[in-house]
């Protein structure tokens, strides 16, 4: 919560604080119940509900930490709670220690493994020093809960083993909390270092920044869009460089709004931008490029009452095999861009030959 006050709302710390707080409250409630200080129905269902919701918030908080956005799945928590309440009212399963513990462990294992995968996605785009340890601790904690679920099913007297596991999870939670804060600190330090690698006009990365951000070897589905504004020199010559700068800033803002959180946008110089889209489905590539082209053409430019229509040509290349080299893919996209220019501009051209095939042809 202290970290949340020092960071922006999109840091995810508020959700993560709520996640740990609810899990802690659930544990306290269970402790009161074990000492028979409240009715069994209250503490069993209450502690289980708080624990499950806290685990779900952990996933949502990690996603917000990664992308800065609150995932739409948060609405499912309300459905989850309603379903849990109905099931408890109809069956009373929460009064059975084995069933309650099993559900708690399976839910925790799933949420922690999903959280680990979210950190893995973050690590691929932002290779921060704390990401790999955080990913590993979350995955190991999830596997520990999965092992605990097996003990609950197979060992008749499982309480002693579950108590030992919870002790390990307490240590794991402290480690996760420290590493989450370390990720945010690493990210802030990285952003300060990258300020020298940002284009001063548009605020997007420059060529050197792009080389640091993209992986040297690609995965199938990774795509590159080379985006170049058509007849940009005419705008500078006719309306002045100030108007040209306004166009570049507006186009960069449009591209920034259209890209996904994991996409990498850079200005390569002049009127050319490059967009790297990791793990893009082949069926989406052309549609996304056309959406970008239409959005640029729809930007309402005016100069002293004169409407300006700005269009862009886009060249696309997409990795089809593991291990494709970044220079090959970028070169293929650049060649596709030249083809779009030769074909009349204001269009999208997809590289017809894979980079590796082009190199050996």
**Three-point CA angle 254, 245, 345, nearest 5°:** 65
271 is catalytic: yes
Token representation of residue 302: 């005016």
pLDDT digits (tens, 9 = 90+) for 164-188: 888 888 898 899 999 998 988 888 8
Best CA proximity match to 293, nearest among 314, 271, 315: 314
Per-residue pLDDT, 10: 60
Q: Which residues are paired to 301 by β-bridges? A: 308
Give the whole-angstrom CA distance, residue 143 versus residue 41: 29
- Nearest in space to 29 (alpha carbons), one of 9, 4, 46: 46
Q: Which ranges of 68-125 does DSSP label H, i.e. alpha helix?
A: 76-91, 97-125
Q: Is 90 helix (H, G, I), strand (E, B) or coil?
A: helix
Are 292 and 255 in contact, with CB atoms under 8 Å apart? yes
223-229/312-318 β-pairing:
antiparallel
**pTM of the model as a whole:** 0.59
Between 67-81, 165-179, 218-232, the lowest mean confidence (pLDDT) is in 67-81
> According to the model, what pLDDT value does residue 198 have?
83
Task: Give dist(CA 247, CA 157) in Å, integer.
Answer: 70
Alpha helix segments (H runs only) across 155-277: 159-194, 207-213, 232-239, 241-258
> What are residue 267's DSSP bridge partners?
273
Distances (CA, A) of 14 to 1, 7, 19, 189: 6, 10, 9, 21
Residue 307: other Cβ atoms inside 10 A: 8
In this predicted model, what pLDDT tens digit does every residue of 305-346 receive, in sequence order?
778 889 999 999 999 888 888 999 999 999 999 999 999 999
What is the token pair recorded at 275?
Answer: 């967009």
Give CA 117 to chain center in angstroms.
Answer: 10
Give the C-alpha separation, 329 to 223, whole Å: 8
Half-sphere exposure of 137 (CA within 13 A, CB side): 18
**Least confident piece of the model among 82-86, 136-140, 330-334:** 82-86
- Of 214-218, 232-236, 278-282, 315-319, where does mean pLDDT reach its minimum? 214-218
pLDDT in tens, 261-310: 889 999 998 999 999 999 888 889 999 999 999 999 999 888 787 788 89
User: And the tokens for 260?
Assistant: 């996904």
146: Cα separation from own chain's centroid: 25
3-state secondary structure 111-146: HHHHHHHHHHHHHHHCCCCCHHHHHHHHHHHHHHHH
Rounded to whole angstroms, the Cα distance separating 314 from 330 reads 12
pLDDT reported for residue 34: 74
Active-site entry in 135, 271, 279, 339: 271
Sign of CA pseudo-dihedral 250, 342, 344, 306:
positive
């Amino acid at each position: 919560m202290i970290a949340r006050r020092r960071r922006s709302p999109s840091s995810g710390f508020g959700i993560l604080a709520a996640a740990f707080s609810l899990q802690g409250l659930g544990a306290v409630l269970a402790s009161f119940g074990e000492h028979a200080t409240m009715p069994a129905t209250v503490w069993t269902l209450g502690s289980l509900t708080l624990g499950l919701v806290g685990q779900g918030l952990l996933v949502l908080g990690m996603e917000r930490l990664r992308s800065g956005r609150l995932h739409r799945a948060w609405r499912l928590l309300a459905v989850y709670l309603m379903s849990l309440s109905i099931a408890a009212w109809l069956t009373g399963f929460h009064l059975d220690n084995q069933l309650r513990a099993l559900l708690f462990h399976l839910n925790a294992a799933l949420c922690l493994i999903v959280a680990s995968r979210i950190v893995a996605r973050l690590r691929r785009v932002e290779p921060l020093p704390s990401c790999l340890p955080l990913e590993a601790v979350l995955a190991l904690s999830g596997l520990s809960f999965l092992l605990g679920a097996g003990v609950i099913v197979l060992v008749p007297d499982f309480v002693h083993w579950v108590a030992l596991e919870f002790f390990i999870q307490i240590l794991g939670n402290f480690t996760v909390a420290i590493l989450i804060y370390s990720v945010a600190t690493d990210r802030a330090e990285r952003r300060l270092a990258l300020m020298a690698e940002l284009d001063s006009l548009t605020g997007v990365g420059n060529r050197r920044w792009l080389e640091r951000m993209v992986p040297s070897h690609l995965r199938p589905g990774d795509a590159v869009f080379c985006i170049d504004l058509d007849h940009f020199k005419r705008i500078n010559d006719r309306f002045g460089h100030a108007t040209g700068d306004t166009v570049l800033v507006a186009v960069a803002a449009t591209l920034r709004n259209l890209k996904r959180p994991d996409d990498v946008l850079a200005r390569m110089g002049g009127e050319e931008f490059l967009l790297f889209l990791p793990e893009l489905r082949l069926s989406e590539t052309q549609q996304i490029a056309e959406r970008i082209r239409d959005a640029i053409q729809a930007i309402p430019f005016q100069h002293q009452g004169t409407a300006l229509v700005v269009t862009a040509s886009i060249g696309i290349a997409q990795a089809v095999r593991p291990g494709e080299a970044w220079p090959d893919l970028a070169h293929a996209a650049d060649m596709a861009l030249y083809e779009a220019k030769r074909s009349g501009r204001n269009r999208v051209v997809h590289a017809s030959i894979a980079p590796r095939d082009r190199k050996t042809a």
